[in-house]
Structure 1
Amino acid sequence: MHSALVIGTGLVGTSVALALRAHAVTVHLRDADPEAVRTAASLGAGTARPPSGAVDLAVVAVPPPHVARVLAGLQAEGVAAHHTDVASVKAEAQREAVALGCDTSSYIGGHPMAGAAHSGPLKARADLFEGRMWALTPTPDTGTETLNTALELVALCDAVPVVMEAVAHDRAVALVSHAPHVVASLVAQRLEHAEEREVSLAGPGLRDLTRIAEADPGLWMDILGANAKVVADLLEELGTDLGRMVTALRGLAGDGPERADGLAVVEDVLRRGRTGRARISGKHDTRPERFETVTAVIGDQPGELARLFSDADQAGVNIEDVRIEHATGQPAGLVHISVLPGLAATLRKALHNQGWRQR
């Protein structure tokens, strides 16, 4: 790949452009917002000048409802040999592309499983996709050269390609992303009018559960609108499960014969939830391992986290995972460091010798 055109200079589009520029690909930028293009160009993502001829690949980085229309316009221009997109819903765009008469042999859908709570070119990073899954959804007549060009794009972004049908992709992302986002928002909205005392007791569990609810509602309206039926079906199933759980908990709260039934249902849900959670890949896309945790108290000063990691490195202990728990209203927090079994004692001793307070 020598040249590319990125249409849409938000977080994902600009990150794709930065990744391609890191491999010396000539990147041209286009966006309905001239300021977004100027910002992306100033970050080194490419040039706002139009290409003088057809580029190797056009990357459509616009919201799902606009993908097919933009694709049709690009093909009418003849600006690229091959086309892909990075929208999070695939089947609807593929159907609309066919309805608009697009040449689907030079088009393949794409969806990098990476992003952030906040959008815009200033949040873009060349390494945003490193190690992340990148779904590719060919049309029935996607050409081999188009598929290979998309695979090269994924490789240049250091991501991991997964080829699947568009409908299967939309079911998968509804399960692992879209429905969970709705659930996180439903839980988070319960905090809107809660007493300050109640919110102050929030711990890392609630923060983890509701983190994705910070995302831009406008962006998510586009995503949910494009995959509404699949998400609705999943939430309906979840609603049935919630109703069963409510009945079980009410039985558990009583003293009658319903208590034993309630106990069995609640225990079954918790057990199956733990089993399901264990299926999520761990580090390097492997099965999750059992780690030991060392917890250090850290102050809110510049360089403290770097110093903690450096002290762990000096002890010869690799940090497998890390979680930071901020103390509400206090200039301090807890850093929970996950290490392989057998190394926790070594790390605790090293941190103690360096003066770190531990829990």
Structure 2
Amino acid sequence: MRTALVIGTGLIGTSVALALAQRGVVVHLDDHDPEQARTAAALGAGTEEPPAGPVDLAVVAAPPAHVASLLADAMTRGVARGYLDVASVKGGPRRELEARGLDLSAYIGTHPMSGREKSGPLAATADLFEGRPWVLTPTRDTDTEVLNLALELVSHCRAVPVVMDADAHDRAVALVSHMPHLVSSLVAARLEHAEESAVRLCGGGIRDVTRIAASDPRMWIDILSANPGPVADLLSDVAADLDGTVRALRALQSSDEDKRGEGAAGIADVLRRGNAGQVRVPGKHGSAPRAYEAVVVLIDDQPGQLARIFADAGAAGVNIEDVRIEHATGRQAGLVQLMVEPKAALLLSAALRERGWALRQ
């Protein structure tokens, strides 16, 4: 791949363009908002100048509702040898293109499973997709050359290619992305009018659950409008579980011992099923999740503190598998949880104490 055209210079499009430009591909940028394209170009993502002739690959990075029309326009104009989109829904856009009677041998639907709560070109990074799954949805009609171009793009972005059927992909992202986003928003909405004294008690748990609720609502309306059926089916199941959980909690308020026992059993069941589901979430490097032990350290909110603690862990010969930070409310300090192999926890704890760090249980 020597040349590419990126149509849509938001977070995903600009990140793709940055990754390609860093690998020596000449990238042309196009956006309905010229100012956004100029911003992407200024970041080093490519040039605003239109290509003189067909490029090797055209990448449409737009909301699902606009993908089919942008692809159809590009394909009709013959701007590239191959075409792909990076929208989060795959079945609908392809059916729209088929309905337009287009030859889809030069097209493949794709979806990089990566993003941020922020949007726009200024939020883009060339390493946004590194190590992340990138779904490809070829069909029997997909030309081998186009599939190879898509695989080359994924390689340039240092992502991991995953081949799926388009409709299976849409059901999967409803489960692992779209439905969780709505659930996060529903939980976060409880905080909107909550008393300030309650909000000040927010800790790591509520921050984890509500983090993705900070995303742009307009973008998510576009996404959910393109995949409403599978998301609604999943939320219906969640609603049934919530209804059962409410009944179990009400039973725990009863003065009847048998009812309290039934309530406890109902809560235990949903917690057990939650445990069973959580352990299926892939862990580090996509492997099966492993049990790590947390070494909790109190740090001041000052420059260089994290670098020091990582350096001290390295000097002790301990690899940090993961890290979590919980900020202390009303204090210029926080708790850093260093996740390590259980056999390394005592060694790391002793080494950090020796270097003057304050550890917490």
Whether TM-score is above 0.5 comes out as yes
In the alignment, which residue of structure 2 is the partner of 1:75?
A: 75
Question: Which residue does the alignment assign to 2:300?
Answer: 299
- Matching of residues 263-274 of structure 1 within 5 Å: 263-274=264-275
**Percent identity between the aligned chains?**
61
2:123 aligns with: 123
Name the residue aligned to 1:325: 326
Relative to the length of structure 2, the TM-score reads: 0.97
Q: Residues of 2 paired with 1:78 and 1:23: CA distance?
A: 25
Shift of 1:103: 2.2
3-state DSSP class of the match of 2:296?
strand
In structure 1, give the amino acid aligned to 2:81.
A
Q: Counterpart of 2:192 in structure 1: which amino acid?
A: E
User: Quick one: distance in 2 between partners of 1:83 and 1:139?
Assistant: 14
Aligned-partner Cα distance in 2 for 1:313–1:48: 45
Task: Please show how residues 1-359 of structure 1 align to structure 2 within 5 Å.
Answer: 1-256=1-256, 257-359=258-360
Deviation at 1:252, TM superposition (A): 2.0
Residue range with higher mean Cα deviation, 101-110 or 282-291: 101-110
Paired with 1:140 and 1:171, the residues of 2 have a C-alpha distance of 21
Unmatched 5+ stretches in structure 2: none
List, as ranges, runs of 4+ consecutive aligned residues in structure 1 with deviation greater than 6 Å.
none
Q: Distance in 1 between matches of 2:99 and 2:30?
A: 25
| Alpha-carbon shift at residue 213 of structure 1 (Å) | 0.1
Structure 1, residues 217-252: CA drift from partner, whole Å, max 9, x if none?
011010011111111111111111111111111112
Deviation per CA, 1:283-328: give whole Å up to 9, x if none: 0100111111111111111221112111111211111000010112
Q: Is the 8 A contact 1:174 1:230 kept in 2?
A: yes
Unaligned runs of 5+ in 1: none
Give the Å deviation of 1:140.
Answer: 4.3
SS in 2 for 1:53: coil
Q: Quote how far apart the aligned CAs of 1:102 are.
A: 2.5
TM-score scaled by length of structure 1: 0.98
Equivalent residue pairs, number: 359
User: Which secondary structure does the structure 2 equivalent of 1:248 belong to?
Assistant: helix
Aligned 8 A contact 1:71 1:102 in 2: no
- C-alpha distance in structure 2 between counterparts of 1:139 and 1:98, whole Å: 12
Distance 1:67 1:102 in 2: 14
1:116 partner amino acid:
R
Task: Summarize deviations over 1:101-138 as a string: whole Å, max 9, x none.
Answer: 23211111111010000011111111110110011112
Distance (Å, rounded) in 2 between the aligned partners of 1:10 and 1:139: 28
